């Protein structure tokens, strides 16, 4: 995967996050067999994607591994916080992770725009 396709992947992950949110809200009448893999894919890669892209690492394998590790760590942190506060609400937890994912994607987008404008003649 090249760096040019990473922006497509980023947009795809944000779109999948929106799809997960819509599916969880039952806006889309999706069966559970379709919803569960979408949520798991989003939890594994979504929240950490923009944050790791901001680092602009050279090795794509390391980037994907760090994305998965950070995403799963964030999901674990959110779920542990909900359990410790005795306010277990999986839908709310996914929305928190979607917000974290969106914040990371916006940070990556604006940092890449800033770098591109500094490099332009």
Enter the pTM of the model: 0.72
- Could you read off the pLDDT of 61-104 as tens digits, one per residue? 888 889 889 999 999 999 999 999 999 988 888 888 888 888 88
Rounded to an integer, what is the distance from CA 67 to the centroid of its chain?
9
- Could you read off the pLDDT of 20-64 as tens digits, one per residue? 666 666 656 677 777 777 778 888 888 888 888 888 888 888 888
**Cα distance between residue 66 and residue 44, in whole Å:** 11
Helix axes 60-84, 32-53, angle to 10 degrees: 120
What pLDDT, on the 0 to 100 scale, is given for residue 24? 63
What percent of the chain is predicted at pLDDT more than 90?
17
């Amino acid at each position: 995967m090249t760096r040019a396709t990473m922006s497509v992947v980023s947009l795809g992950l944000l779109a999948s996050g929106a799809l997960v949110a819509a599916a969880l809200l039952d806006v889309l009448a999706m069966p559970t067999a379709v919803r569960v893999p979408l949520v798991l894919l989003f939890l594994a890669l979504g929240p950490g994607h923009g944050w790791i892209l901001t680092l602009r690492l050279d090795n794509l394998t390391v980037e994907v591994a760090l994305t998965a590790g950070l995403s799963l760590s964030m999901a674990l942190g959110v779920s542990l916080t909900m359990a410790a506060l005795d306010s277990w609400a999986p839908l709310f937890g996914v929305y928190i992770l979607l917000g974290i994912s969106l914040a990371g994607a916006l940070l990556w987008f604006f940092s890449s725009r800033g770098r591109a404008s500094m490099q332009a003649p």
